[in-house]
Amino acid sequence: MDSGSGFREILRHAGLKYTKQRASILKVLTESEQPVSAEQIFLELQRNGTNANLSTVYRILESLAAKGIVLKTSIGSDTKALFEMNSSVHKHRMICINCRDMTSVEGCPLEEYEKMLKDRTGFDVTGHKLEIYGYCEKCKKQNK
């Protein structure tokens, strides 16, 4: 399935109309290795010749996040959100609050905790997200 028809199906399943702008945003997110900001997506769309203003990019991202197609992450008290495709791949990250670098954490330290919560409370955990904030090695060295 090519990305155009794949995006068309994703949008249809979520009850959203297929538009070139939505598909272009999904393409940028699919090709990104890390979460990206609306501004980064906007610049990439401009480079690719897709006509969309920044407010449209924000509006589309918010609607995609509301439908669960993309994940929205805010770093600390910063108001700039980052977006990524909502894949079934389980991810945990360490995020530098200075340079915004993100490092994936291998393994899941919460699996046993989820089991304990279910045993103790009867709560069926369907997912979780772990983000650890701090300073990367590079930023620590620069601040010394």
CATH code of the domain covering residue 101: 3.30.1490.190
Average pLDDT value for residue range 1-25: 86
Instruction: Please provide the average confidence, as pLDDT, over all residues in the chain.
Output: 87
**Are residues 71 and 114 both part of a single domain?**
no
Structural contact between residues 38 and 83, judged by C-beta atoms closer than 8 angstroms: yes
**Are residues 121 and 73 both part of a single domain?**
no
pLDDT, tens digit (0-9, with 9 covering 90-100), for 83-122: 998 876 667 888 888 888 888 887 787 888 888 999 999 9
| Global confidence as pTM | 0.68
**Are residues 49 and 66 both part of a single domain?**
yes
**Are residues 22 and 81 both part of a single domain?**
yes
Among 85, 103, 134, the domain boundary falls at: 85
Q: What are phi and psi of 92, to 5 degrees?
A: -130, 145
**Are residues 14 and 81 both part of a single domain?**
yes
Among 37, 53, 85, the domain boundary falls at: 85
Cα distances from 39 to residues 83, 121, 143, in angstroms, run 11, 42, 27
pLDDT at 75: 72
Helix segments in 1-144, DSSP class H: 3-13, 20-31, 38-47, 54-66, 111-121, 137-142
- Please state, in angstroms and rounded to a whole number, the distance separating the CA atoms of residues 95 and 133: 5
How many domains, in total, are found in the chain?
A: 2
**Are residues 15 and 63 both part of a single domain?**
yes
Residue in 72, 60, 59 with CA at minimum distance from that of residue 26: 60
pLDDT, tens digit (0-9, with 9 covering 90-100), for 14-73: 999 999 999 999 999 999 988 899 999 999 999 999 999 999 999 999 999 999 899 888
**Are residues 72 and 113 both part of a single domain?**
no
| Residue 51, C-beta contacts closer than 8 angstroms, at least 6 positions apart | 21
